[in-house]
Amino acid sequence: MSKLAQLRERRNVKAQEANTLNARFPADQRMPTAEAANLDTLLAEIESIDGEITRETRLAKLAAEQTDNLLNAARESATRDPSRQSDHSKALRAYLGGGISALDDRQRQDLAARVNPDIRQAMSTSTNSEGGYTAATEYMRTLEAAMKAYNGVLEVASVIRTGSGADMNFPTADATAEVGEIVGQNGAANAGDTTFGNTALSVYKYSSKKIALPWELLQDSFLDIEAYIQSVLAVRLGRITNTHFTVGTGVSQPRGIVTGAALGKTGTAGQTVSVIYDDLVDLEHSINRAYRRSPGFGFMMADSSLKVVRKIKDTQGRPIFVPGYETASPGGAPDRLLGRPITINDDVAAMAANAKSILMGDFRKYIIRQVMDLTLFRMTDSNFTLNGQVGFVAFQRIGGNLVDAGGAVKYYANSAT
């Protein structure tokens, strides 16, 4: 068993001990001092193990990166040796180094067969001095997968794909206050018209901003530059879209889930940078139980806010938050608060006076709409050529909005004083 696996097993054992100890005493019974101290010790050990797991994970990642570098060096050697290059590798290398004009007739035919006709029409030109274009599927898949790692909202929202970017309308209705009536014999029924609303879901064109790379870097480090472009463009687009999906104003950008949510609970006086147990309960019950039964119901907050919540204790000195532990189901159980899953999203405001620091609700009501897959462009126009550079930029058309007619998502606001 690896050291990382051993650490995880130790954490599961300690977490189960903490949960078992915490459950031994009813809510109306004060936990004895010895047991409370034992519970604090267990929680401290869990935090220490979490730190070790983080370090081991980073070391494993570094080891994997070192292995990848060795493999890349071997592949790079193979790529530089013309006798060991495939026809496709030769064509792609020639294209990155000099554009379409650097390809021979057979390579141009192969490129034409690989590129979607709609993409070819999007090219500004087919000459080396004016520019070129590529959207290889391996770039698109890798970049999209990397983006998901940066999107807290994307983890819990509903995602749809559409063929066009025209505004999509979602009819809404709130009939929760409408009731019937009793009428007498031969009596006429009174009028009781219902009302409808509309929520529009628009999409926006996002740019990663351009990256200019010198010819020397393209020619001497071909495989390394591919990884560089993927990671940088993914981080840029992932950050901006998650920010807008969280706190976007809805004006010339998506309306974020915080912006669209309603107030559920204002913190008790004095809770400017904290929250108490009663406030969390009030927040949960500010949302109708019809939404609370949804499998998408849970909490969303920044990691700094989760740290505050983990320190909350009841009147008997017991923490209300106990880390999850392995269960009979594969993969174990995630950490939960009030029995609800927690999504970490650092674009949600940290706790401060008047801050909307905790979200709770059915996050599937937030709809993310994707129209254009992430597409990578390569540019060799005169602005780059005169500097001995090739430009890269990525675009994606995407949007999001909270489609909610009945208060499915609400927020906790810290007290002003």
Write a three-state SS string for 70-113: HHHHHHHHHHHCHHHCCHHHHHHHHHHHHCHHHCCHHHHHHHHH
Does the pLDDT value for residue 56 go beyond 60?
A: yes
pLDDT tens profile 113-123 = 554 444 333 33
In this prediction, residue 28 carries a pLDDT of 67
In this prediction, residue 191 carries a pLDDT of 83
Backbone angles phi, psi at 249, to 5 degrees: -80, -25
Question: In whole angstroms, how large is the CA radius of gyration of the chain?
Answer: 28
Please state which of the ranges 26-30, 296-300, 393-397 shows the lowest mean pLDDT. Answer: 26-30
Report percent pLDDT > 90 for the chain: 28
pLDDT tens profile 202-253 = 999 999 998 888 877 777 765 566 667 777 887 888 899 999 999 999 999 9
Per-residue buried b or exposed e for 211-243, using 16+ beta carbons within 10 Å of the residue's own CB = bebebeebeeebeebbeebbeebbebbbebbbb
Maximum distance among all alpha carbons in the chain? 96
pLDDT tens profile 336-390 = 888 888 999 999 999 999 999 999 999 999 999 988 777 777 788 888 888 888 8
Structure confidence at residue 320 as a pLDDT band (50, 70, 90): confident
Helices (H), 128-264: 137-148, 152-156, 215-220, 222-247, 257-260
In this prediction, residue 146 carries a pLDDT of 38
Average pLDDT over residues 47-67: 75
Report percent pLDDT > 70 for the chain: 72
Task: Pick the more confident residue, 221 or 46.
Answer: 46
Which helix (DSSP H) or strand (DSSP E) does residue 37 occupy? helix 33-80
